[in-house]
C-alpha cells in the first residue's frame, strides 16, 4: 500500500479503531467514526495516510462486519471472542490498569487480586497475543509498528519474539502511576506489564511527568529500562479540523438551540457559559465540578441568573457498574443544583448525556469558561480544543493533575481537583477576567494547544523510532 510515511510500512495497533459498525433494523451495516481522544488523535494519520490499523471488533456490529467481510481499506479488525475481549477490556484494562494509573481505587477495600483477576489476566494475555500475531502476519520485512495504550502492554514483547526484524514503538495515552501505587499490582503482573512494554525499541508518553514515573517503576521493579528509549510527545489538538468542522451547518443549528436554552440575563445581556465536555469517566471529576459550580452560586449570589453550566457527560464504559453508578450521580447532582437555584427563566445546569459531537462544538464556540478538572488525566484534549473554537476567547479552569497542565498551566486558572471551594473561586476568577485579558490568554492557549497536531505528533514518533 502507498504510504505517506516513506519507504517502510507503518502499522498501528489499538483496542478501539477508527470505525465501528451498527446493525440496522433492516440488517444493513452502518459505519460510524470511533470515539475517544486516542482515536481522534490517530485518525489524522491512520488508513488515509497509508498506515495499516489493527484494532479490535468491539460489539455485535463490528463482529458482524468481520463475518461479512465488510471493512475499510487499511483497517484490520480482530474478532477476538467476546468473552475474552470483555475480560481483557472491562476486567483488566479498564478495572485494573486504568484504576492504577489514575489512582482511582478506594484502597481500604480495593483492589482485591483474587482468582477471578487471574482468570481475567489470562484473557488479557490471549488478547495481547492475538494482536501480536496479527501484526507479525501483516508486517513486511523491517516495518514499523506503533502499539497504543494500556490495553496492549504485552504486545511489544510478544511481537519482538515473533518478529525481531521490526522497529516497535508503544505509546501510553494515560498517566503513569507513581512507584508505590503501581506496586499495588501483584509482583509478577507488575513485572509482566513492564517487561512487555520494554520489548519495544521506544516508548512514548504524553508528558515528562508520566515518562519519569514509568522510568521509576522500571528502576524499582525490573532494574531499569534495558536498551529501551523513552520519548515525550504531547499530543495537541487538530486546529484546522476543529475550525472548519465547528462552522458546518449542523453545528450552526445546534448553536441556535443552545443559545435558546441558555437564555438571557435579567438585564437583557448574554448569560455567561461555563462549558465542560467529557466522557462520563471517573477520572474526569464531573461530580466535584458540579459541586464547585453549586458552591459558586451559593457563595456568590451575584452570578445567579447570569451564568449557565453547559456540561456534556457522554456515555462511557457502561458495561461496568461503577461507571453506571457514576453517571447516575452526575445526573443526581446536576438535578439537585437545578432544583436548589433554578427559576422559571433560568436552568443553571444544562446537562447533556447523549453523544452529539456537533452540539459539543457549538458549546465550545459559546464558551466563556472551559472547566477541565480531572483528578488525573493523560493529557485532556478538551483543554486544548475549546480555546481554538471559542468565539469570544475563553478562560480555562484547569486541574494541575491533567497532562495538559504542563503546556497550558501558565495561562490557565489552575486548581487542585479535590478542592471544591478552590474550584468555585477559580470559576469566579475565570468568569471575572476582563474581556481583553481573556482573549489574549485564549489566543496563547490555542497556540500552545495546537503546537503538536496529531499528524506531526505521529511523525515525530516515527522519525525517532527510525533513528
Ligand X SMILES: O=P(O)(O)OC[C@H]1O[C@H](O[C@H]2O[C@H](CO)[C@@H](O)[C@H](O)[C@H]2O)[C@H](O)[C@@H](O)[C@@H]1O
Binding site for ligand X (CB under 6 A): 16, 36-38, 41, 149, 173-174, 206, 235, 316-317, 377-381
CB 312, min distance to ligand X, A: 15
According to the 3-state scheme, what is the secondary structure of the chain?
Answer: CCCCCCCCCEEEECCCCCEEEEECCCCCEEEEECCCHHHHHHHCCCHHHCCEEEEECCCHHHHHHHHHCCCCCCEEEECCCHHHHHHHHHHHHHHHHHHHHCCCCCCCCCCCCCHHHHHHHHHHHHHHHHHHHHHHHHCCCCCEEEEECHHHCCHHHHHHHHCCCCEEEEECCCCCCCHHHHCCCCHHHHHHHHHHHCCCCEEEECCHHHHHHHHHHHHHHHCCCCCCEEEECCCCCCHHHHHHHCCCHHHHHHHHHHHHHHCECCCCCECEEEEEEEECCHHHCHHHHHHHHHHHHHHCHHHCCCEEEEEEEECCCCCCHHHHHHHHHHHHHHHHHHHHHCECCECCEEEECCCCHHHHHHHHHHCCEEEECCCCECCCCHHHHHHHHCCCCCEEEEECCECCHHHHHHHCEEECCCCHHHHHHHHHHHHHCCHHHHHHHHHHHHHHHCCCCHHHHHHHHHHHHHC
CB 122, min distance to ligand X, A: 21
Q: Which is nearer to ligand X, 47 or 374 (CB)?
A: 374
CB 324, min distance to ligand X, A: 14
Q: Which is nearer to ligand X, 41 or 157 (CB)?
A: 41
Q: Which is nearer to ligand X, 44 or 222 (CB)?
A: 44
CB 96, min distance to ligand X, A: 14
**Rounded Cα–Cα distance for residues 166 and 266 (Å):** 65
CB 198, min distance to ligand X, A: 20
The residue whose grid cell reads 493529557 is 379
CB 378, min distance to ligand X, A: 4
CB 112, min distance to ligand X, A: 23
Q: Which is nearer to ligand X, 366 or 381 (CB)?
A: 381
CB 346, min distance to ligand X, A: 32
Q: Which is nearer to ligand X, 295 or 401 (CB)?
A: 401
CB 401, min distance to ligand X, A: 11
Q: Which is nearer to ligand X, 151 or 309 (CB)?
A: 151
Q: Which is nearer to ligand X, 233 or 271 (CB)?
A: 233
Q: Give residues with Cβ within 8 angstroms of 172, minimum separation 6.
A: 149, 150, 203, 204, 205, 206, 210, 214, 378
Asked if 414 contacts 400 with a C-beta cutoff of 8 angstroms, the reply is yes
CB 423, min distance to ligand X, A: 19
Amino acid at each position: 500500500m502507498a504510504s505517506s510515511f516513506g519507504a517502510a510500512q507503518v502499522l498501528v495497533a489499538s483496542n478501539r479503531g477508527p470505525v465501528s459498525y451498527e446493525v440496522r433494523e433492516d440488517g444493513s451495516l452502518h459505519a460510524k467514526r470511533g470515539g475517544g481522544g486516542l482515536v481522534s488523535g490517530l485518525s489524522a494519520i491512520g488508513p488515509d495516510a497509508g498506515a495499516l490499523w489493527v484494532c479490535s471488533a468491539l460489539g455485535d456490529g463490528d463482529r458482524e462486519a468481520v463475518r461479512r467481510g465488510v471493512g475499510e481499506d487499511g483497517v484490520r479488525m480482530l474478532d477476538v471472542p467476546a468473552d475474552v475481549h470483555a475480560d481483557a477490556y472491562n476486567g483488566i484494562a479498564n478495572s485494573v490498569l486504568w484504576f492504577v494509573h489514575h489512582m482511582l481505587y478506594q484502597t481500604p477495600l480495593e483492589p482485591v487480586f483474587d482468582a477471578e483477576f487471574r482468570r481475567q489476566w489470562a484473557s488479557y494475555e490471549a488478547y495481547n497475543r492475538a494482536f501480536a500475531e496479527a501484526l507479525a502476519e501483516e508486517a513486511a520485512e523491517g516495518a514499523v509498528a506503533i502499539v497504543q495504550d494500556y490495553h496492549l502492554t504485552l504486545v511489544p514483547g510478544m511481537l519482538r519474539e515473533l518478529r525481531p526484524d521490526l522497529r516497535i514503538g508503544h505509546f501510553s495515552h494515560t498517566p503513569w502511576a507513581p512507584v508505590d501505587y503501581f506496586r499495588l499490582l501483584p509482583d509478577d503482573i507488575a513485572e509482566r506489564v513492564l517487561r512487555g512494554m520494554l520489548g519495544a525499541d521506544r516508548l512514548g508518553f504524553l508528558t515528562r511527568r508520566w515518562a519519569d514515573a514509568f522510568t521509576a517503576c522500571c528502576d524499582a521493579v525490573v532494574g531499569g529500562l534495558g536498551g529501551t528509549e523513552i520519548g515525550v510527545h504531547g499530543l495537541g489538538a487538530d486546529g484546522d479540523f476543529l475550525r472548519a468542522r465547528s462552522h458546518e451547518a449542523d453545528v450552526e443549528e445546534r448553536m441556535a438551540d443552545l443559545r435558546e436554552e441558555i437564555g438571557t440575563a435579567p438585564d437583557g445581556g448574554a448569560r455567561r457559559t461555563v462549558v465542560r465536555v467529557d466522557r462520563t469517566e471517573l477520572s474526569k471529576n464531573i461530580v466535584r465540578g458540579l459541586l464547585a459550580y453549586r458552591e459558586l452560586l451559593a457563595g456568590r449570589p451575584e452570578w445567579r441568573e447570569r451564568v449557565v453550566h453547559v456540561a456534556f457527560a457522554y456515555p462511557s464504559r457502561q458495561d461496568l457498574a461503577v461507571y453506571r453508578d457514576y453517571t447516575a450521580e452526575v445526573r443526581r447532582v446536576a438535578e439537585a443544583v437545578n432544583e436548589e437555584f433554578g427559576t422559571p427563566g433560568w436552568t443553571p445546569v444544562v446537562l447533556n448525556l447523549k453523544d452529539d459531537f456537533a452540539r459539543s462544538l457549538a458549546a465550545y464556540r459559546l464558551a466563556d469558561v472551559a472547566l477541565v478538572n480531572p483528578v488525573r488525566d493523560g493529557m485532556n484534549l478538551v483543554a486544548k480544543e475549546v480555546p481554538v473554537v471559542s468565539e469570544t476567547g475563553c478562560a480555562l479552569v484547569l486541574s494541575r493533575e491533567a497532562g495538559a497542565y504542563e503546556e497550558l498551566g501558565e495561562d490557565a486558572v489552575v486548581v487542585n481537583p479535590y478542592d471544591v471551594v478552590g474550584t468555585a473561586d477559580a470559576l469566579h476568577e475565570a468568569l471575572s477576567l476582563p474581556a481583553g485579558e481573556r482573549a489574549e490568554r485564549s489566543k496563547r492557549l490555542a497556540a500552545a494547544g495546537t503546537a503538536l497536531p496529531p499528524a506531526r505528533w505521529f511523525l515525530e514518533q516515527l522519525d525517532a523510532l527510525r533513528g
